[in-house]
Amino acid sequence: MSHSIDSEDLLERFCRYVRLDTRSDAHSAACPSTQGQWELLRLLERELNEIGAADVRLTAEGYALATIPASSKDAVTPRIAWFAHVDTATELPGGATPIVHQKYDGKPIVLPDDPTQELTVDTTPQLREKTGHDIITASGATLLGADDKAGVAAVMAAARHLLRHPEIPHGIIRVCFNPDEEIARGMTRLKLDDLSADVGYTLDGADLGEINYETFSADAATIEIRGVSIHPGLAKGVMVNALRLAGSFLSALPAEISPERTAGRDGFIHPVEVEGNADRCTIRMILRDFELAGLAAKRAAVEQVVAGLRIVEPRAVFALTFEEQYRNMRYWLEKDMRPVELAREAARRAGITPSFAAIRGGTDGSNLTARGLPCPNIFCGMHEVHSRREWVSLQDMRKSAETLLHLAELWHEQR
């Protein structure tokens, strides 16, 4: 049985996908939130049909679904699902010009559209392990989009391979490409009945062999500040400047629990956007912690700052709201670790050493697991995501896809 993924096809797919600008937009109420995502989803719909997948459809909410029929009819096998998100981070331009640095020689990689963006083995330690690999970067002007188009390409390559190699025993596999993961809405409109799966895996991880079953728990927080407006020439004793109050709020947030000063299992409070004027101002934040008690403490810290400002400036109006985004999937997966253990064994069968790591972020699997579909996360080789220095190894993407092939076999053995 062949488990060797076609590297040329994988590379062509990945480069094709990253050329599309698929940034999501938290200010849009649409699903998907941007037209660029629709473009990639329609492309994937066509490609799923081209490789021979069954039940291909693109839902009105932007979920591209398909089935890889079972190759074995001898017993009922748990249905597994593979997920990857099509959107990229909102902060930087998308629509990459991919550059393939073949057989990386260990020397600095300078991105031509912005020579200040340089990857070296000193500043990017993971590169030291990738000598001889084919490294893919953007040109320096945009994100690469490996988060999560490396996952999209790995899923497509694995699906194509299984359809071309019916001698590999596996049960029914469902494929789902979804929008808006980067704005924490990736699975909010997916109907689990439409998916019809018993267990899932997101392809949205980093280091070779890494399996994730623990994520942050996450809340969003928004504070709307309404000041008192008047002509600045008449402002003395009357004006309350909402922008100045916003600055006071931001400076009062505890700096020791910011992303810039935390690592490992420490959570944070992170302001992500400020907009407004002297009359009204809105600040949006994200709160993260691995434990619910820690998340509650961060809510309390924000509330304490707002309470202090209300005392300092009673003429202003402060409206603070919180919204649950996702929860640590460990709370559910630790009750039955079989999906995690099979992923680890699949990595071993693919010839790599598996490892576990807690994600300082979230995946669509956080939402799915909480809703009853166990869904750990699998590596796809992306590094320095959400930056112009983002890169991925073609060989690591290939191993990701091959891990999926072994995972399909392993779940078939569970019958």
Residue pLDDT, tens place only, 202-225: 999 999 999 999 999 999 999 999
Find the mean pLDDT for residues 79-93.
Answer: 95
Are 353 and 209 within 8 A, CB to CB?
A: yes
Q: What pLDDT does residue 248 have?
A: 97
Work out the burial of residue 202: count CB atoms within 10 Å of its CB; fewer than 13 is exposed, 13-18 middle, 19 or more buried: buried
Going from N- to C-terminal start, the domains of the chain cover 7-215+328-413, 217-326
Q: Tell me what percent of the residues of the chain surpass a pLDDT of 70.
A: 99
Q: What pLDDT does residue 158 have?
A: 98
Residue 91, CA atoms < 13 Å, CB-side half-sphere: 6
Find the mean pLDDT for residues 262-272.
Answer: 96
Residue 364 confidence (pLDDT) above 80: yes
- Going by pLDDT thresholds of 50, 70 and 90, the confidence category of residue 284 is very high
Q: Which residues contact 382 (CB under 8 A, 6 or more apart)?
A: 146, 147, 148, 150, 205, 206, 390, 391, 392
Are 37 and 59 within 8 A, CB to CB?
A: no
Q: What pLDDT does residue 415 have?
A: 74
Residue 361, CA atoms < 13 Å, CB-side half-sphere: 14
Are 357 and 212 within 8 A, CB to CB?
A: yes
Please tell me which residue in 21, 25, 45, 87 is annotated as part of the active site. 87
DSSP for 264-293, written as a single string: TT--EEEEEEEEE-SSEEEEEEEEEESSHH
pTM of the model: 0.91
**Distance from C-alpha of 369 to C-alpha of 212, rounded to nearest angstrom:** 13
Q: Which element (helix H / strand E) includes 342?
A: helix 338-349
Largest CA distance in the chain: 84
Say whether domain 7-215+328-413 belongs to CATH 1.10.3470.10.
no
Neighbours of 140 (CB within 10 A): 19
Q: Which residues contact 99 (CB under 8 A, 6 or more apart)?
A: 111, 112, 136, 137, 138, 139
Helical ranges in 142-291 per DSSP H: 146-164, 192-195, 242-252
Q: What pLDDT does residue 75 have?
A: 61
Using the 8-state DSSP alphabet, how is residue 98 labeled?
Answer: -
**Distance from C-alpha of 18 to C-alpha of 23, rounded to nearest angstrom:** 11
Please tell me which residue in 45, 47, 148, 181 is annotated as part of the active site. 181
State yes or no: is 181 an active-site residue.
yes
Q: What pLDDT does residue 414 have?
A: 87
CATH of 217-326, one of 3.30.70.360, 3.10.20.90, 3.40.50.2000, 1.10.10.10: 3.30.70.360
Residue 337 confidence (pLDDT) above 90: yes
- Dihedral of the alpha carbons of 129, 131, 134, 139, in degrees to the nearest 10: 90
Using the 8-state DSSP alphabet, how is residue 189 labeled?
Answer: T
Across all residues in the chain, what is the average pLDDT? Answer: 96
Find the mean pLDDT for residues 55-66.
Answer: 97
Find the mean pLDDT for residues 278-284.
Answer: 97
Q: What pLDDT does residue 125 have?
A: 87
